[in-house]
Amino acid sequence: MRRGPYISMITNRTMNVLIRAAMLFMVGVFLALVLNLLQVQRNVTLFPPDVISSIFSSAWWVPPCCGTAAALIGLLYPCMDRRLGEPHKLKREWSNVMRCVAVFVGINHASAKVDFANNVQLSLTLAALSVGLWWTFDRSRSGFGLGVVIAILATLATQLLVYNGVFQYTSPDFLYIRSWLPCIFFAGVITVGNIGRQLALYEYKVSQEKTHQD
Amino acid at 30: F
In order, the DSSP letters of 54-122 are STT-S-TTHHHHHHHHHHHHHHHHHHHHHHHT----S---HHHHHHHHHHHHHHHHHHHHS--SSHHHH
- Span 11-50, contacts to another protein by CB under 8 A: 12-13, 16, 19, 23, 30, 33-35, 37-38, 40-41, 43, 46-49
Cβ atoms of 138 and 193 within 8 Å: the answer is yes
Nearest alpha-carbon partner for 79 in 185, 179, 203, 186: 203
Binding test (CB under 8 A) with another protein, winner from 72, 116, 127, 176: 116
Please report the sign of the dihedral spanned by the C-alpha atoms of residue 166, residue 167, residue 173, residue 179: negative
- Report the distance separating Cα 36 and Cα 203, nearest Å: 30
Per CB under 8 A, 139 contacts another protein: no
Binding test (CB under 8 A) with another protein, winner from 84, 102, 152, 153: 102
Per CB under 8 A, 173 contacts another protein: no
User: Please, which residue, 122 or 146, has the CB nearer to another protein?
Assistant: 122
Per CB under 8 A, 84 contacts another protein: no
- Report the distance separating Cα 29 and Cα 18, nearest Å: 16
Please report the sign of the dihedral spanned by the C-alpha atoms of residue 48, residue 51, residue 56, residue 62: negative
Nearest alpha-carbon partner for 148 in 96, 178, 99, 188: 188
User: Please, which residue, 38 or 148, has the CB nearer to another protein?
Assistant: 38
User: Please, which residue, 99 or 149, has the CB nearer to another protein?
Assistant: 99
Binding test (CB under 8 A) with another protein, winner from 72, 76, 80, 105: 105
In the complex, minimum distance from the CB of residue 72 to another protein, in angstroms, rounded to a whole number: 17
Please give the residue ranges that form the binding site for another protein (CB under 8 A). Answer: 2, 5-6, 8-9, 12-13, 16, 19, 23, 30, 33-35, 37-38, 40-41, 43, 46-49, 52-53, 55, 57, 78, 82, 87, 92-95, 97-99, 101-103, 105-106, 109-110, 113-117, 121, 125, 128, 132, 168, 170, 199-209, 211
